[in-house]
Amino acid sequence: MNATGIHKYIGDRRFYRRALSVALPIMLQNVVTNFVNLLDNVMVGQTGTASMSGVAVVGQLFFIFNLVVFGTVSGPGIFCAQFWGARDERSFKAAFRYKMASCLLMCLLAMGFIGLYGRQVIGLYITGTPEESALVEGYAMGYLRIMLWGLLPYAVSMVYASTLREEGHATVPMVASWSAVGTNLCLNWVLIFGHLGAPAMGVRGAALATVIARFVELSICVVWSHRHKDEVLFTRRVMEGFPMPRRLLREIFLRSMPLMANEIFWCVGTAVLTQIYSTRGIAVMAAINIANVFFDLGTAIAFSVGSTIGIIVGQELGAGQTERAIDTDRKLIFLCVSIAVVIAAAMASASGVFPRFYNTTDQVRAVAAALILINALMLPLDGFCHSSYFTMRSGGKTMVTFLYDSCFTWAVNIPVAWLLAHRTGLGITSVYAVSSGTVVIKCVIGAIFLHKRYWVNTLSGAEMPVKAGAGGEEG
């Protein structure tokens, strides 16, 4: 590659200072959160395979809820980033109010659904002897009943944390998250194993520690935001401009719904994939749990750069700097993939060591090691797809992100996994590898979309309807 080509993908010091000022707090927050989740998982894993499988099953339900909340804040978040770049204060506050109302609604719906149908959903993931199934279900339901109390504080803290980042206050959510995970870790040690005179609660102790940590995180975000109204825009005269202008409400709704639907369909699709894999036995479910928690730690670093695209590129598009946004996006994608390659190498080298920290069978450890290695090989490709997704999202192309993300999962990943699991005699590692390998197709689609520049689009501009950007028509 000649010098000109290199400079297309590598920025100067000023570029990286700006990128890291946004990415580093997100990265540190995600790393600390996922590292403590890893320790949490290992602690639960010390209590046995059945309890670990029960927690992993319930984790599928809360994985769906967490991503639904993420999708709910993502749509209005696009507008917040662009309105912030355009210095449109009234519209920024309107987008924040929309974000809060939507998250509260999703939270109430989720609590009702999980409370009513949680046991039935859990049963879909448990395949074993009647004695094994009853034991795993007992652990799962004990964990679930306590975890339900953490849904509301998680949803509200996500609203505050995401809006603070869009205003440029990324350090506050990071500190709140660190405080929460520190609380979670300490309480896990006390409540799971019964230290300091507390009863040994096992998986119920892990759930209680998580719920308390959620309230700690929420308290820090809310208290800091409302004590610094001179710095935090959305807490100052938050009802200014209420009710929201109809045109703006319509635009936010139309742009947000595909993102929300995408997260719902994608995470449900991922849960369906896990259920397909789980038909091979309880040991497989435990192995997937081990592999996923290690994979999440790796992606916490690599994907943080991809998430930064939605903020920085969105701000530049909102300010009308389309060519600069294109250049910034290209360099951030290259940075994300480069970091993913390094993380993938580290994951692959540790694939045989990490499962040994769990008190489980050799079979579970062997399957987990193979799945970790597969995840490591796919991580750079996943990093590119993640960056492509946030690029599309930064320009408000939410319907395209829906097709690109969740529709791909349902149209390609799930059929491939189901056919291999139910119509062939392939082992779980082969089924998992081929299903995960379909990400190559997704990378090709993403590369074509980025090359066409269809994502370049400006949403800010008071309350006027969205106009086509440099890359094409309105999405």
Q: What is the pLDDT of residues 174-203, one digit of tens each?
A: 888 888 888 888 898 899 888 888 888 888
Q: Give dist(CA 351, CA 451) in Å, integer.
A: 35
Q: Give dist(CA 20, CA 389) in Å, integer.
A: 20
pLDDT, position 474: 32
Q: Which two tokens stand for residue 137?
A: 């279900």
Q: Which two tokens stand for residue 46?
A: 């010390």
Q: Average pLDDT for residues 408-433, to the nearest whole number?
A: 90
- Residue given tokens 């929300």 in the structure block: 260
Task: Tell me which residue of 229, 203, 248 sits closest to 92, measured CA to CA.
Answer: 248
pLDDT, position 71: 76
226 within 8 A of 220, measured Cβ to Cβ = no
pLDDT confidence tier of residue 238, bands split at 50, 70 and 90: low
pLDDT, position 414: 92
Continuous segment of H or E residues that includes residue 246: helix 246-278
Domain positions in the chain are 20-452
Question: Which of 44-53, 147-156, 356-365, 446-455 comes out lowest in average pLDDT?
Answer: 44-53
Question: On the CB side of 428, how many CA atoms lie within 13 Å of its CA?
Answer: 25
| Model pLDDT for residues 345-393, shown as the tens digit of each residue | 999 999 988 888 887 788 888 999 999 999 999 999 999 998 888 888 7
pLDDT, position 470: 34
Task: Tell me which residue of 397, 415, 400, 421 sits closest to 469, measured CA to CA.
Answer: 397
pLDDT, position 3: 45
Q: Which two tokens stand for residue 162?
A: 């995401």
Q: What pTM value is reported for the model?
A: 0.68
Task: Tell me which residue of 409, 387, 413, 391 sits closest to 400, measured CA to CA.
Answer: 391
405 within 8 A of 324, measured Cβ to Cβ = no
